[in-house]
Amino acid sequence: MSIKIYNSLTREKETFVPLEPGKVNMYVCGPTVYDYIHIGNARPVIFFDVVRRYLESVGYKVNYVVNFTDVDDKMIRRAGELGVTVPELAERFIAGFNEDREGLGVRPASINPRVTENMPEIVSFIETLVDKGYAYESGGDVYFRTSAFPEYGKLSHKNLDELQYGIRVEVDERKENPQDFVLWKAAKPGEIHWPSPWGDGRPGWHIECSAMARKYAGETLDIHGGGHDLQFPHHECEIAQSESLTGKPLARYWMHNGFVNINNEKMSKSLGNGINPRELLKRTSAQAIRYVMLTTHYRSPLNFSEETLRQAENSVARLTTNRDNIKHRLASADAGSSAGPDAGLQARLEKLKEEFRAKMNDDFNTADAVTVWFQLVSETNAYLQRETVEAASLKLILELIGELDDVFGLLLPEAGEELLDAEIEGLIAERTEARKNRNFARADEIRDLLAARGILLEDTPQGIRWRRA
């Protein structure tokens, strides 16, 4: 069964056919590293990790490129506020991103190119656009001439002629046209800069991704992904400058994930309702966060709340307990026979595997695919009720569970796998708060979880201490 992807460019589901059989070049816009990522940033990080995992699980070799924007206006402003250099700021928050990525169970990209390490390619890209008449220099800045690219707006489907320039778009008299966008910015006194044919400066935001995507993933990508907010202007501008340079489509398939709301409200600085994954990970598991992200279709808005997180924790616990029960039964005496797997069970497992693939092949419908996993839980729980079970059958179940989790990453570590110290401290803090609020059920859940992982708690006059058994 072929994979269908909803292409944001055509607004239709299309059969996925990569340029090169068996190989996928996938570029996803990464963070501007001026701060730690928030939960909205984490959604594409987690979702496209699952897309990459699934493509690999069905046999594709995936070149997965996620960039770091390590110089721009935000970087310069934040570095000034903190009294550090832009490179020092970038190093701090690239390290922070990688800590958060790892904490969320997200696998490393094939490569994380940085803007500052690809300046020659960026300058050369702009030079060619100028030579071809798609760009022009004005006062040390270089702008893309949108009038030279008639298809500008085809991704976002915006009617740019109706924009009220000077009201919705700030007018810059250096531009030929208000909708022209900057490719190269002349350096202001004291700013970080690089040499160019137009004087010292630095690249604009949009050109960075075009140059790095071309260098690390080719002139036409198989998949270009990012958040819905990047469709316009970022991805629109990428298309214009890349396709003007190469004469080829920038990407065969465009994928955009929906926004994240907090308690049914838009996440914004003005509301002060932003959530940081690294803080969340002190009191919950990566698997619970991933579960919240994956049980809403990626193109739909996602609501994140304490209630959805608690529900996710319970669901992850159910999936994990199912796996652990099967392993426990496999180790028991009644699963030691040399008989082959139960034929009826084997057929049902194959059907569930096909259903899982069908859901994922339908535009990566992770929400419905998770539902299939719970059908597997019900099927196997019923099988475990039998007085006698076959070891071969249990192994087949575990094999299928392993395949599902290799894509989703939703199972908690087994009892023998150690929790990180920070995770333990976070759980203890949550348990203390739960007891203070007389939420004894949650406090007992955390105590039992820690005990199952070999963590012993001791009450002392100085507070709770813990040690590994």
pLDDT 10s digits, 46-89:
999 999 999 999 999 999 999 999 999 999 999 999 999 999 99
Together in a domain, 253 and 392: no
Together in a domain, 116 and 167: yes
Q: What is the CATH number of the domain that holds 378?
A: 1.20.120.640
Q: What are 425-451's pLDDT values in tens digits?
A: 778 877 887 777 777 777 777 777 777
Say if residue 31's pLDDT is above 80: yes
Q: How far is CA 46 from CA 42, 52, 294, 312, 323, in A?
A: 6, 10, 8, 15, 23
E-assigned strand segments in 204-295: 221-227, 251-257, 260-262, 265-266
Together in a domain, 432 and 335: no
Is 266 part of any domain?
no
For residue 249, which of 214, 206, 225 has the smallest C-alpha distance? 214
To the nearest whole percent, how much of the chain has pLDDT over 70?
91
d(CA 218, CA 250): 9
Is 101 part of any domain?
yes
211 CB-side CA count, 13 A: 27
Out of 408, 429, 446, pick the residue that ends a domain: 408
Is 231 part of any domain?
yes
Q: State both tokens at 215.
A: 């260098």
First to last CA, the chain: 49
Together in a domain, 40 and 178: yes
Question: pLDDT averaged over the chain?
Answer: 90
Is 68 part of any domain?
yes
**Domain carrying residue 322:** 310-408
Query: What b/e readout covers 321-341, taking b as 16+ CB neighbours within 10 angstroms?
Result: ebbeebeebbeeeebeeeeeb
- The residue behind tokens 């100085």 is 462
Quote the distance between the C-alpha of residue 9 and its chain's center. Answer: 21
What's residue 164's pLDDT? 43
Together in a domain, 135 and 20: yes
d(CA 129, CA 289): 43
Out of 359, 387, 408, pick the residue that ends a domain: 408
Say if residue 163's pLDDT is above 60: no
E-assigned strand segments in 43-117: 61-66
Q: How many domains does the chain have?
A: 3
Is 267 part of any domain?
no
Q: State both tokens at 34.
A: 């001026």
Together in a domain, 235 and 344: no
Together in a domain, 430 and 376: no
Is 392 part of any domain?
yes
Together in a domain, 69 and 195: yes
Out of 408, 433, 451, pick the residue that ends a domain: 408
Say if residue 330's pLDDT is above 80: yes
For residue 316, which of 403, 431, 413 has the smallest C-alpha distance? 413
Together in a domain, 155 and 13: yes
- The residue behind tokens 């949009």 is 206
What's residue 308's pLDDT? 95
Q: What are 183-203's pLDDT values in tens digits?
A: 999 999 999 999 999 999 999
The residue that leads in pLDDT, 271 or 354, is 354
Is 24 part of any domain?
yes
